[in-house]
Amino acid sequence: MKFTGAKVEAFLRSPDPALRIVLFYGPDEGLVRERALQLSKYWVKDLADPFQTVELFAAALKGDPARLSDEAQSISFGGGKRLVRVRQANDSCMLALNTLFDAPLNPDSMVLVDAGDLNPRSKLRKLFETSKNAACIPCYGDDARTLPNVIRENLQNNGLSADRNTVSLLCQLLGSDRSVTRGELEKLALYMGTETVVTQDHVRAAIGDNAANDVEDVIYAAASGKFAELESSLAHVLADGNNPVQIVRASQRHFQRLHLARGHMATGMNLVDAVKALRPPVMFMRADAFKMQLNMWSAKNLNRAFDILTQRETQCKTTGFPAEAVIGRALLAIAQAARSGQPGQRR
The reply to whether 221 and 238 lie within a common domain is yes
Structural domain total, the chain: 3
pLDDT class for 233, splitting at 50, 70, 90? confident
pLDDT at position 344 over 80: no
220 and 193 in a common domain: no
State the Cα–Cα distance between residues 43 and 130, nearest whole angstrom.
24
184, 206, 228: which is the final residue of a domain? 206
pTM over 0.75: no
Task: Compute the average pLDDT of residues 47-55.
Answer: 90
Domain of residue 196, CATH code: 1.10.8
Q: Pick from 183, 206, 229: which residue ends a domain?
A: 206
The verdict on 177 and 106 lying in the same domain is no
Range of the domain at 106: 6-138
Q: Is residue 347 part of a domain?
A: no
155 assigned to some structural domain: yes
Estimate the crossing angle of helix 299-318 against helix 323-340, to 10 degrees. 170
> What band does 297 get if pLDDT is binned at 50, 70 and 90?
confident
- Average pLDDT across the chain, whole number: 86
Please report whether residue 1 resides in a domain: no
Cα 181 → chain centroid: 9
CA 290 to CA 292: how far, in whole Å? 5
Q: pLDDT-based confidence at 201, cuts 50/70/90? A: confident
Residue 303 lies inside a defined structural domain of this protein: yes
- Predicted local confidence at residue 268, as pLDDT: 87
- Which is higher by pLDDT, 16 or 320? 16
For the segment 131-149, the average pLDDT, to the nearest whole number, is 86
Q: Of 112, 138, 164, which marks where a domain is finished?
A: 138
In a domain, 319, yes or no: yes
Do residues 265 and 301 both lie within one domain? yes
Domain co-membership, 263 together with 320 = yes
CATH number at residue 56: 3.40.50.300
Residue 11, SS3?
helix
pLDDT for the residue numbered 35: 94
Residue 332 within any structural domain of the chain:
yes
For residue 55, which of 84, 95, 13, 77 has the smallest C-alpha distance?
84
Determine the residue type at 139. Answer: C
134 and 151 fall within a common domain: no
Left, alpha or beta for 296 (phi > 0: left; psi -120 to 50: alpha)?
alpha
The verdict on 49 and 115 lying in the same domain is: yes
In the structure, what pLDDT confidence band is assigned to residue 100 with cuts at 50, 70 and 90?
Answer: very high
Report the pLDDT value the prediction gives residue 346, as an integer from 0 to 100: 40
- 151 and 56 fall within a common domain: no
Q: At what angle do helices 123-130 and 94-102 cross, to 10 degrees?
A: 20
Per-residue pLDDT band for 77 (boundaries 50, 70, 90) equals confident
Q: Are residues 201 and 222 in the same domain?
A: no
